[in-house]
Every structure is written in C-alpha cells, then in structure tokens.
C-alpha cells in the first residue's frame, strides 16, 4: 500500500466537537487572533503540536500502574535509566519534566557570556535558552533547506564547511558544544543523514568540542535514514538510532515527541563533571535526580514509549500519514516544504498568500483563516516566531521561510481525519484572496508567539 493503514485499533474514544463558523469567528477574535489563546474544546482537529499530544498504548497505561512514587530511588527511574542507556550508550541519565528544562539546565551549566552554539537550526526554546544564558545561537543548516521546493533527502543536514568556518572564526574555546536537531523541526521536520551526524561529530571532536543531539524526534530521523540513505535499508531502525547516538557526547530530549508520552524529558551525557553540575541545579529547580520533576509512573511510561517508538510498523504508518497529507496538498497546488517532514507538513505561506506582505504576518493570517474556516488548529513558524527587530535602526530581519505547520500527533487521528484537513485547506486555497493580513497589538519581549495579540487589517 502506498499509505499503510493504521497498525492499531482504538480502545478508548475521546469525543471531539464540531463548532459553527460563526462561533469560531467570535472565539478567535476573543483569543486576539492567536491560536495559543483558543480553548481546546473549540477545536475539531488540533495540529498545533505533536508534542505531548500522543496517544499512549495499552502497555504504557499498564506501566503507569506500576509507578513507584518513592521520593528517592524509584524502581521506575532505574528502568528509565536502563532503557535510555541502552538506546543512547550515554552514561548519566537525568530526568526533567520536559525538553526545555533539559536545555536550560545544560546551557546554564556549560555556557559563558558570549559563547557560541552552532546547530542545524535551533528550535525556539533551544535558541531562547542559549540566549537567556547570554550565548549566541547560530543556525548552519545547508542552503538547500532554504528552498521549499528542493527535494534533497536530508534537508536537516548542517553545512559542514560553514561549521568549520565558524569554529575558525569564533575559536574552539568559545564553543562549549555543538548540536544537531533531529529531525530539524524549525527547518521543516527534515532529517539529518548518518553521514552528516558522523562528519559533524568528527569535526567537533577534532576541535575538542562536545557534540550533542537534540533528540526529540530521533526515531523519525532514524526511519528516514533507513528509507533514504545508502547502506541502511537492512539495518533495524533501533540499531540506526543507536548508531546516531553513538556519535554524540550527550543529548537533550523532550519525551513528549518520540517518547510517546504527554509529559517528560531528559538529558543524557558522558561528562561526569557537567552531569554533577546539572544534577545540583536539577535539585534546585526540578527535584531529586531519580524523578526530576516527574512522577514514577511517568518515568515508566517513557521507558515503554522509548521502546515502542522504533517499531517499524508504527513508524511506517506515522511517516506515511504525514506524507499522505502532504501529497494531497501538493496534488492540489498548495505549496509545502518538500519533501514532507517526519512529524508535520509545513505550508509555504508566501506561496499560499503571495499578496500579503511580511509585515502583515501571512503565516499567522493563514493559521487564523484555517481555524475559522474548518476548526483546525495549526501553528505559525515565521515572522511572529522568528523575526528580529534591530533596536537601533528599527529594521526587521525576517526569517528565510514563512510557514504554517500542521503537526500531526502520534497515534491520535485517523487517515479520514487527515483527509478532512486536506479538503479544508484545498477549499481555503480556492478562496485565498479573501484572507486578510494582521497587525500586532501586544507582544512579550521573548517567545512572543505564545501570547501575542492581533487585529485584522480591514
Ligand atoms: N517542540 C513543538 O511544537 C513544543 C513546544 S512549542 C508549541 O514543536 C525541539 C526540536 C522541539 C521542542 C519542542 C523542544 C522543547 C526542544 N527541541 O516542549 O520543552 O521541537 O518539551 O521541548 C514543540 P518541550
């Protein structure tokens, strides 16, 4: 089958409501034209994020019943530690309640003012945590990634020559670590090849710089390597994932993605001294190192989720469900980042709404229109999330791409529901000249996309 059918049957059903277009017009106006302000009850299909929105399996729910809620030394921590050690080969396993805390603890422990952190593309929380610690986050993804139509199989790759130049220019002592985000969320959920992981690791190590993975979607990345990279078609996805980790000195992970849970994360690393510093901070802000802000039952569910996520029937359905949505949009003339990413489809809002100027937030305008038209919540990844204003000149630097992300929760929606999303977008595309631009009326100084408010430009 081109698009495999669901490799699971549904045991628990959560009803979702359909609302009228009139009701949604009122609700989105009250939310200041920001979909983060919408009550989830007003949404039919929620594609805001694939993070923390997965459906857990029967085995994960069963695992929660063997939660050991001891303050220290919970048996679930030891299982969690064993599974992560086996997967990553890394020595120190530190639980956190989600990915950004892992980032915060790591960067608070290794960054000094003015230090530089290279990455293919920093996710927004990663960048914010680097900058919060007075570091400089530098994105070095390959140029092909900036062209939405380019069919490069590994558009998440970092540009090795640019990385080399950055190390020379900055000086290796000013780079406390280098990172790769797998898959590259901000660049379209695109995978990084094993070759690129290896070359990045070698180059960083040659300069005595530790190499970390932002491993949120490691299993999806490993599946793409199996599908696309020469020499891996006969290797299991689990072994490919292990090989990816084998090049790294550490990783941060939001288990809310490929951990298949609703909450959780971790840092894993080999350096004992840094691990000690992180643990001291962890005790201050998250909790004792055998729970790190999570309940024992959460740790158990993550341990099971990290095993389930490399199941190849699951991954084949997962990746192809996302691809199916992307293919139907493409077939109907809707511009998306090609090829479809692992966890999401990214619509090129500049191609969808060529008449709206960047200062009118075209991707946000499309996100608002999609919710109003169909009750589908997507998220903007463009001007609102990434534009930077030069305080002195007032000039706005826009990101390369202006995108609307349709992130698909894991094991949650059926292919029929994905057809509904595709049809809604096709409808909207036919009537695209009616979509109006937006003007910002409130913005916070950091991570403004979460709380910004807008009005429609009539
Ligand atoms: N990613 C996402 O929707 C959730 C937050 S924004 C709605 O894509 C990477 C690559 C991520 C990521 C979160 C985090 C932070 C780190 N790296 O959300 O703190 O995609 O668990 O993880 C989101 P936490």
Q: What's this model's pTM, rounded to 2 decimal places?
A: 0.95
Beta bridge partners of 33: none
Give nearest CA residue, ligand 1 atom 4.
Answer: 51
Candidates 50, 58, 2, 5; CA nearest to 317 is: 5
* DSSP characters over 356-400: S-GGG-HHHHHHHHHHHHHSEE-EEESHHHH-EE-TTT-PEEPPS
pLDDT computed for residue 187 by the predictor: 84
Under a CB-based contact definition with an 8 Å cutoff, are residues 2 and 331 in contact?
no
pLDDT by residue (tens digit) across 382-430? 999 989 888 889 899 998 889 999 999 999 999 999 999 999 999 999 9
The runs of H, that is alpha helices, within 42-110 are 58-64, 75-88, 99-110
pLDDT by residue (tens digit) across 176-193? 999 999 999 988 899 999
pLDDT computed for residue 339 by the predictor: 97
Distance 99 CA to ligand 1 centre (A): 7
Q: How many CB atoms lie within 10 A of CB 239?
A: 14
Give nearest CA residue, ligand 1 atom 22.
Answer: 99
* Best of 38, 40, 48, 99 for a ligand 1 pocket test (most atoms within 8 Å of beta carbon): 99
Give nearest CA residue, ligand 1 atom 1.
Answer: 51
Distance 301 CA to ligand 1 centre (A): 19
Atom of ligand 1 nearest to the CA of 184: 10
SS3 (DSSP) at 229: coil
The average pLDDT across 337-364 equals 96
Interhelix angle for 415-430 vs 362-374, to 10°?
120
pLDDT computed for residue 58 by the predictor: 98
What are the angstrom distances between the C-alpha of 40 and each of 36, 37, 376, 377?
A: 9, 9, 11, 9
pLDDT by residue (tens digit) across 216-265? 999 999 999 999 999 999 999 999 999 999 999 999 999 999 999 999 99
Atom of ligand 1 nearest to the CA of 265: 21
146 falls in which pLDDT band (50, 70, 90)? confident
pLDDT computed for residue 145 by the predictor: 93
Does the pLDDT value for residue 135 go beyond 90?
yes
Instruction: Quote the tokens at residue 31.
Output: 């939310």
Does the pLDDT value for residue 74 go beyond 90?
yes
Under a CB-based contact definition with an 8 Å cutoff, are residues 375 and 24 in contact?
yes
DSSP-derived letter for residue 289 is T
Instruction: Please tell me the distance from the alpha carbon of residue 228 to that of residue 40, in angstroms, as a whole number.
Output: 37
pLDDT by residue (tens digit) across 23-34? 999 999 999 999
The average pLDDT across 120-149 equals 95
**Is residue 216 within a helix (H) or strand (E), and if so which, with residue range?**
none
442 falls in which pLDDT band (50, 70, 90)? very high
Q: How many CB atoms lie within 10 A of CB 195?
A: 15
Under a CB-based contact definition with an 8 Å cutoff, are residues 322 and 340 in contact?
yes
Residues with CB under 6 A from ligand 1: 49, 51, 98-100, 123, 125-126, 181, 185, 214, 216, 254, 256, 265, 407
pLDDT by residue (tens digit) across 285-328? 999 999 999 999 999 999 999 999 999 999 999 999 999 999 99
Q: Which residues contact 161 (CB under 8 A, 6 or more apart)?
A: none
Does the pLDDT value for residue 90 go beyond 90?
yes
Distance 440 CA to ligand 1 centre (A): 24
pLDDT computed for residue 401 by the predictor: 86
* Triad 303, 304, 305: Cα angle to 5°: 95
Instruction: Quote the tokens at residue 349.
Output: 């809002």
Distance 191 CA to ligand 1 centre (A): 16
The average pLDDT across 67-91 equals 98
The average pLDDT across 93-106 equals 98
Q: What order do you get walking across the sheet with 250-254 strand by strand?
A: 92-96, 265-269, 250-254, 211-214, 178-181
pLDDT computed for residue 93 by the predictor: 98
Does the pLDDT value for residue 355 go beyond 90?
yes
pLDDT computed for residue 186 by the predictor: 85
Does the pLDDT value for residue 1 go beyond 90?
no
What are the angstrom distances between the C-alpha of 67 and each of 71, 298, 412, 422?
A: 12, 8, 24, 40
Instruction: Please tell me the distance from the alpha carbon of residue 435 to that of residue 362, in angstroms, as a whole number.
Output: 9
Under a CB-based contact definition with an 8 Å cutoff, are residues 371 and 24 in contact?
yes
- In the chain, the domains with their CATH numbers are 21-50+311-456 (3.90.1150.10), 58-308 (3.40.640.10)
């Amino acid at each position: 089958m081109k698009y495999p059918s669901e490799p699971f049957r549904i045991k628990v059903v959560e009803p979702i409501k359909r609302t009228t277009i009139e009701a949604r017009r009122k609700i989105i106006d009250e939310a200041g034209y920001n979909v983060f302000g919408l009550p989830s009850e007003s949404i039919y299909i929620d594609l805001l994020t694939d993070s923390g929105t997965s459906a857990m399996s029967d085995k994960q729910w069963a695992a929660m019943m063997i939660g050991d809620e001891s303050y220290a030394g919970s048996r679930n921590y030891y299982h969690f530690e064993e599974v992560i050690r086996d997967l990553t080969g890394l020595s120190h396993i530190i639980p956190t309640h989600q990915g950004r805390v892992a980032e915060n603890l790591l960067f608070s422990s290794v960054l000094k003012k003015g230090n530089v952190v290279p990455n293919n593309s920093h996710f927004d929380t990663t960048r914010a945590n680097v900058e919060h610690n007075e570091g400089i986050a530098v994105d070095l993804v390959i140029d092909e990634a900036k062209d939405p139509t380019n069919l490069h199989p590994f558009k998440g790759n970092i540009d090795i020559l640019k990385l080399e130049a950055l190390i020379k220019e900055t000086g290796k002592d000013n780079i406390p670590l280098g990172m790769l985000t797998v898959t590259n969320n901000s660049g379209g959920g695109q995978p990084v090849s094993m070759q690129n992981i290896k070359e990045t690791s070698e180059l960083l190590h040659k300069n005595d710089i530790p190499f970390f993975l932002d491993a949120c979607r490691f299993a999806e990345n490993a599946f793409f390597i199996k599908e696309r990279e020469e020499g891996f078609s006969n290797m299991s996805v689990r072994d490919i994932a292990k090989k990816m980790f084998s090049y790294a000195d550490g990783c941060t992970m939001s288990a809310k993605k490929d951990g298949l849970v609703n909450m959780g994360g971790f840092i894993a690393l080999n350096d004992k001294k840094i691990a000690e510093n992180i643990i001291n901070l962890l005790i201050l802000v998250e909790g004792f190192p055998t729970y790190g802000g999570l309940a024992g039952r959460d740790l158990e569910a993550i341990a099971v989720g990290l095993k389930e996520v490399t199941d190849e029937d699951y991954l084949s359905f997962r990746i192809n469900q996302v691809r199916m949505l992307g293919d139907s949009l493409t077939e109907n003339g809707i511009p998306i980042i090609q090829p479809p990413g692992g966890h999401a489809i990214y619509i090129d809002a500049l191609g969808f709404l060529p008449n709206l100027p960047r200062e009118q937030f075209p991707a946000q305008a499309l996100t608002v229109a999609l919710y109003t038209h169909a009750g589908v919540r997507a998220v903007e990844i463009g001007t609102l999330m990434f534009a930077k204003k030069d305080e002195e000149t007032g000039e706005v630097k826009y990101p390369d791409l202006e995108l609307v992300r349709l992130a698909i929760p894991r094991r949650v929606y059926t292919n029929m529901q994905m057809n509904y999303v595709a049809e809604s977008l096709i409808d909207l595309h036919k009537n695209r000249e009616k979509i109006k631009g937006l003007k910002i009326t409130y913005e916070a100084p950091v991570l403004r996309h979460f709380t910004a408010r807008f009005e429609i430009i009539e």
